[in-house]
Structure 1
Amino acid sequence: MAASSLAFVARRGEPELVAPAGPTPRELKRLSDLDDQESLRFYRSVIYFYRSHPSRSGLDPARVIRHGLAAALVHYYPIAGRLRELPGRKLVVDCTGEGVWFVEADADVSLDEFGDTLCPPVPCAGELLCLPESNSAVVVNRPLLYVQVTRLRCGGFVFGIQVCHSLVDAPGITQFLQAVRELAGGMEAPSVRPVWARELLDARDPPRPNYHHPEYELVPNAANDKLRPGEQLVHRAFLFGPEEIASLREQLPPRMKARCSRFLLLSAFAWRCRTAALGYEPGDEVRFMFVMNARGKRDRPLPEGFYGNALTFGVARTTAGELCTEPLGRTVELIVAARARIAADDYAQSVADALVLRGRPRFMTARTYLVTDLTKSNLHEVDLGWGMPVYGGPATTTLATFHIPATGGGITVPMCLPPWAMERFAANVCAGLSPASSRRGRSSSVESAILSNL
């Protein structure tokens, strides 16, 4: 059965609140000024598919995970609390110990019916998650984590979570899930002890940003965007295997071929293809925005066990005309320069200062291609006791997207666009990967698409 034709209804049990298995402190804990920016006030979904395992025969995954959750929440007790909003829209966690939302379900479907290659949008994701997917949501006075464990006909199961992004980022939720696994398996404490330390990413008093932050500034003529609210969108995933990546690398100048990462290469290529597909005017400013992890800074290290948001956004900017008519190597250089601008040890501090001065705004999305690189994340490697997941990662994608590791050393790039733009994007990708295009060092289809507007 093709995954696109898959249809089923999960039989859900009654939701319950899973509280910490032991006593926890009752206190208020402030989120950092990176945590409570407007753009992170939503629930990020992550979904895992597991096959049955002979060593786990007779074990109910829902019961095992529920036990692990309760034990882990003793150590990660803020996740069992509720967000409150103080004057000035400052978010704090009220550590009430009320617990996280938990649902167990059954579905008359086997894992193989989901298709050979799982990636966003996961078929029938709405049956495998507690909440409807949304980029925005009320996050105060409600559970911070929603969990659904769905047993499949084949003996495998699906573990779907939706976590308030204001509380954790991808490394943070992965750390928590590792604790769930360890404590469900009988450990008395997680191997990585959680650390709050949100004050390390608070604004200074007074705030004094020392870098420019275009991610929170509108592009000129922002209303002149090709993507309209409520517009019908289609989803398609593009797989770039070793052969496709090698073809793109051949389009770079010799000095860049060996040093250019796959992230830079695919980001530059997709940004060009997408911009041309949307048909922006040659003089329109367009942006590429990407997520950077602030962990691991030598002079301003975050402690091991920190599970809050430690992400910042880099921005590369140019005009649509220049982006799509210059060689691919020039686009790579734009992204490299943007990455260098946010590499400073104190950049995250400057972001926190800017957010407070500007009232914790959303990052800007008009004429912007936003990508999160998950290829070096261990988000997809969460073993709950049944071995590595067949798939672990986002359940859906929106206008923002991901680079997701694929079998065989490839990278999957999900794309979400209006139907007319998706057709153009797919054509641009094919043209940009053609041997003739590789020899010229640019995509003739991409160039033609933008030149038609000149």
Structure 2
Amino acid sequence: MAVRMKGCYLVKPAEPTWNGFQSLSEWDQTGLITHVPSIYLYRPSQKWSTVADITNTLTQSLSRALVHFYPLAGRLRCLPGGRLELNCNAEGVLFTEVEFDSELDALGDLSPSSESCHHLAPVVDYTRPIHELPLLVIQLTRFSCGGIGLGLAISQAVVDGPSAMHFFSEWAGLARGEQLKTTPLLDRKCLRAGDLPLGSPCFNHVEFDSPPILVGQSNCNEERTKETTVAMLRVTKEQLKKLKRIANDGRDSKTTRPYTRYEMLAGHVWRCACKARKHSKEQATALAISVDVRNRIEPRIPISYLGNASFDVTANSSSEDLVSKPLSFAANKIRETVEKVTNDYIWSSIEYLKNQKDLVKFRDLQYCTFNEGPFSGNPNLSVVSWLRLPLYGLDFGWGNEVCMTHSCDIDGDVFLRSDPSCKDDGSLVVAICLQVQHMDSFKKHFYSDIGRLFDDMDLKGLS
């Protein structure tokens, strides 16, 4: 597949914006500095006559959007003690144009780890100093059939999933000729960004401890080097019903509510991963959970907040307990972890981080080094739910995308999302990255365990 660069330039806000340094919140500080890419593919449209029409529509509307979302046109800089600061200097968003000599339908496999997916995603050069890295990088890909691909890569140090989708949807609306629907909240003081600590934390924040490593190893370096692969596993509405019955078997319905889709599905993935990885009985394992605190914190943070308002917590267990005990055990571990994220716990975590002199070590706990990216792999997992994010229907004036995909190429990364190809029939997609040596076993357990456990329950009910 031949790829040709056709243009590369910076898109800046269409009007003068506030210029200065903005403090990041503690959760921004401990998040990824790397970018999360997502890719949207569009078939040829009669609403554009030339390639220039597409480029002009995208760049002009982007320039107008950046007037409202001007922090995204800035750059990060490092401060003493490992903290980061946002320089709102309107330096701009990097916009590149490339050309493929193939048709859209010839792409074939568009799994997150495929070669085609990597060609369609914007490239960020992390060898450059952090103050030179754009926070948003966009790649417009032209296909020989007239179709286009739009690759969007945004820094996780300045936004979370809801923030990113708010920006993308507003940009698309402006491209369609509409007015801005919701002005973003740019004040990070709602999470006490830049403030001094007020006191000591009230809770023990184990989520900031080093994650478990394999028994007999002293670090995760060896695991990081092993080849990985990605699977996109569809879970039908009927299979979800089976999992619901399995997870709630034996639950006291008078005192506890049924397990949610996330609790039972994440628990199922966790158990299957432990089986596939063939952990020893004494192996400790953790599952990282991203909790959106917008409706959990007081005062509440609006959905329009531009920043990281998602808090990572970890459920912990031994692999032996997860494998030997029923699914309800794993689901309950996840529920207990999420439920502890109360208003008091959230503010306590902020105070805990504010009391730290060096925050680099917290980024290193999860991500090891800046250049290597995140690692939540063997024996651990990170299960992120995108079930409520408006991932689909990004219309820039020529209709909705025909395909949307995203990055998932680190061992242990798991994403739950809806399946747009199934016309809202209740099906879900589990995107998971595991080491090659574990994936076949994981898929076998993932599907067979639902049927086997379900049959066991039916027999139990007949006895």
Pairwise TM-score range, normalised by the shorter structure: 0.7 to 0.9
Say if 2:454 is the partner of 1:438: yes
- Is residue 111–residue 231 contact of structure 2 (8 Å, CA) maintained in 1? no
CA deviation map 1:185-235 (0-9, x unaligned): 334x52111221212223652353223322211245664678612111122
- State the Cα distance separating 1:65 from its structure 2 match: 0.9
- Is residue 20–residue 99 contact of structure 1 (8 Å, CA) maintained in 2? yes
- State the Cα distance separating 1:131 from its structure 2 match: 1.0
- Is residue 139–residue 164 contact of structure 1 (8 Å, CA) maintained in 2? no
Residue 369 of structure 2 aligns with which residue?
A: none
Measured in 2, the distance between the counterparts of 1:367 and 1:185 equals 46
Selected match of 2:244 from 244, 249, 260 = 249
Number of residues paired by the alignment?
Answer: 429
Residue 237 of structure 1 aligns with which residue?
A: 232
TM-score normalized with structure 2 length: 0.85
TM-score normalized with structure 1 length: 0.86
- State the Cα distance separating 1:244 from its structure 2 match: 2.2
- Is residue 141–residue 149 contact of structure 2 (8 Å, CA) maintained in 1? yes
CA deviation map 1:85-116 (0-9, x unaligned): 2222221121221111111122233333334x
Residue 448 of structure 1 aligns with which residue?
A: none
Residue 89 of structure 1 aligns with which residue?
A: 82
* 1:95-106 mapped onto 2 (5 Å cutoff): 95-106=88-99
Residue 71 of structure 1 aligns with which residue?
A: 64
- Is residue 11–residue 62 contact of structure 2 (8 Å, CA) maintained in 1? yes
Residue 166 of structure 2 aligns with which residue?
A: 175
Measured in 2, the distance between the counterparts of 1:397 and 1:441 equals 36
Say if 2:407 is the partner of 1:395: yes
- Is residue 235–residue 429 contact of structure 2 (8 Å, CA) maintained in 1? yes
Identity of aligned residues (%): 25
Residue 127 of structure 1 aligns with which residue?
A: 119
- State the Cα distance separating 1:119 from its structure 2 match: 4.4
Selected match of 1:192 from 178, 182, 190 = 182
Q: Alpha carbons of 1:122 and 1:396: their partners in 2 closer, same or farther (altered >3 Å)?
A: farther
CA deviation map 1:3-54 (0-9, x unaligned): xxxxx233221311111112122211111111111x4121111211223344
Q: Alpha carbons of 1:255 and 1:199: their partners in 2 closer, same or farther (altered >3 Å)?
A: same
Measured in 1, the distance between the counterparts of 2:252 and 2:4 equals 53
Residue 404 of structure 1 aligns with which residue?
A: 417
Measured in 1, the distance between the counterparts of 2:40 and 2:410 equals 19
Residue 384 of structure 2 aligns with which residue?
A: 372
* 225-234 or 399-408: bigger deviation: 225-234
Say if 2:157 is the partner of 1:144: no
Q: Alpha carbons of 1:240 and 1:332: their partners in 2 closer, same or farther (altered >3 Å)?
A: same
Selected match of 2:2 from 3, 9, 16 = 9
SS of residue in 2 equivalent to 1:295? coil
SS of residue in 2 equivalent to 1:272? helix
- State the Cα distance separating 1:282 from its structure 2 match: 0.9
- State the Cα distance separating 1:432 from its structure 2 match: 0.6
- Is residue 201–residue 348 contact of structure 2 (8 Å, CA) maintained in 1? yes
Q: Alpha carbons of 1:73 and 1:100: their partners in 2 closer, same or farther (altered >3 Å)?
A: same
CA deviation map 1:353-401 (0-9, x unaligned): 2223343213543622101101111133422223232233423332212
Selected match of 2:430 from 413, 435, 443 = 413
* 1:264-343 mapped onto 2 (5 Å cutoff): 264-297=263-296, 299-342=298-341
- Is residue 41–residue 164 contact of structure 1 (8 Å, CA) maintained in 2? yes
Runs of at least 5 residues in structure 1 that lack an aligned partner in the other structure:
1-7, 443-454
| Runs of 4+ that moved beyond 6 A | none
Say if 2:34 is the partner of 1:21: no
